[in-house]
Structure 1
Amino acid sequence: MNEQDYEAAKWALLHAHLVQATPEQRHLYVARSNYGDNHRALAWLADQPTLDRATALMLFWSVGGGGHAQYESLDEVPDYAHDTHQLIGRVQQRFLDGFYADHGIAFDPHHWDGAGPHELSASERERVPAPLLQAVDGEHAIDPFDEAYDADYDDGLPMPLVEQLYTLADVHIAWEDANPQTA
């Protein structure tokens, strides 16, 4: 399975999961996923009006929303960070516009184990719109770093899906090993 087919198959599995995932599962995915290789999935989630507003706020902070507030235009953003900066801007604007749903999830960017306003200087915090610095109230808080999830999830994905992704990766690696001139 060449790289293009592998990426397409991987996305098909992940997309199918995200489409049917509960708001809580999406929240867990955003919190625990590997931000270095999941831009496509996070961008897809950012485009969904069914995404919980608490999850959108976590997404904003998790991908560096606070740090990107320093840039006044895309021209100031390093080339390697353009896609992330545009994602942050989209999430920020949609959050402020009330685009995202309210499924009752609570999230406070000041009190969780991920990136948040506490990592910014006072001048950096001033550049972040006030609603993005405030907690989202909800009936239930989800602690995405609760050890109870460790046996059932990996990188925010349920273990049966993770096993499918590992199998897919094994097939891809075996193909690359058998076809070194095209890999």
Structure 2
Amino acid sequence: MKQITEQEWETIKENLWTDFLQNASAEEIHKSVMTSNWDDCKTLLKFITDNPEKIDKATALLAYWKSQPDWFKKFENEQDYINKEGYNLFLYHFLEKVEHHFSQNNYTQSIMYFDPKSCEFYKEIRNEAILNLIPEIMKQSTGNQYVEYPEDFEDGLPFPIAQKLFYLLDEYEIM
């Protein structure tokens, strides 16, 4: 078993993700968001904000709502968030970037269907004042092509790529 550092392992994972995302269709990226573990998907979320031309509005909205924007909206601004919470600043910035892309109409594809109001994270919001802080454009449904939950994806990756990642875990001892 080969020993590698945590940073080397993160680089291996990031490279696998990047290769997948660069060659993925808009629907595959959507399926990736549907099945991703939110604790380990920075490469996916960064791709969504860095490549709006490849991203369907439904995908960006799904990622936005899975990120639970209501949690972050209860803070006055970024500094207030840092002072009171301070963790996961990446997700705070992700939400801001997605909102910006929507306000600028940078996500131009609108084929796949997503209705934020049917999303479990939207339905869980009980504070109307917080909900009102979320821009209206982020609450509107988009597209008309329904995408079934994929059985051939695991942790955001198509099964063969996810399987390759799992096999690599057997080859390496992460130090």
TM-score, scaled to structure 1: 0.84
Task: Pick closer, same or farther for the CA change 1:59–1:156 going to 2, 3 Å.
Answer: same
Contact 1:10 1:168 in 2 (8 A): no
Q: Deviations over 1:125-174 (max 9, x none)?
A: 111111111111x2301133xxxx22x2212311110111011222223x
1:33-112 correspondence runs (5 A): 33-49=36-52, 50-77=54-81, 78-112=85-119
- Secondary structure at 1:140's aligned position in 2? coil
Q: Letter of the 1:79 partner, please give it.
A: G
CA contact (8 A) 2:21 2:47 kept: no
Distance 1:103 1:23 in 2: 10
**Partner SS for 1:115:** helix
Residue of structure 1 aligned with 2:14, choices 5, 11, 15: 11
5+ residue gaps in structure 2?
A: none
| TM-aligned CA deviation for residue 103 of structure 1 | 4.5
> In structure 2, the residue corresponding to 1:166 is in which secondary structure?
helix
CA distance in 1, matches of 2:59, 2:170: 32
Distance 1:162 1:40 in 2: 14
SS of residue paired to 2:99: helix
Match of 2:148 among 133, 143, 166: 143
TM-score normalised according to structure 2 size: 0.88
Count of residue correspondences: 167
How much is the aligned-residue C-alpha RMSD, in angstroms? 1.5
- Bigger relative contact order, structure 1 or 2, given CA contacts below 8 A and separation 6+? 2
Q: Give the drift of 1:2.
A: 2.7
Instruction: Please tell me whether the aligned partners of residues 64 and 95 of structure 2 are also in contact (alpha carbons under 8 angstroms).
Output: yes
Q: Distance in 2 between matches of 1:156 and 1:109?
A: 20
The 4+ residue runs of structure 1 with deviation greater than 4 A are none
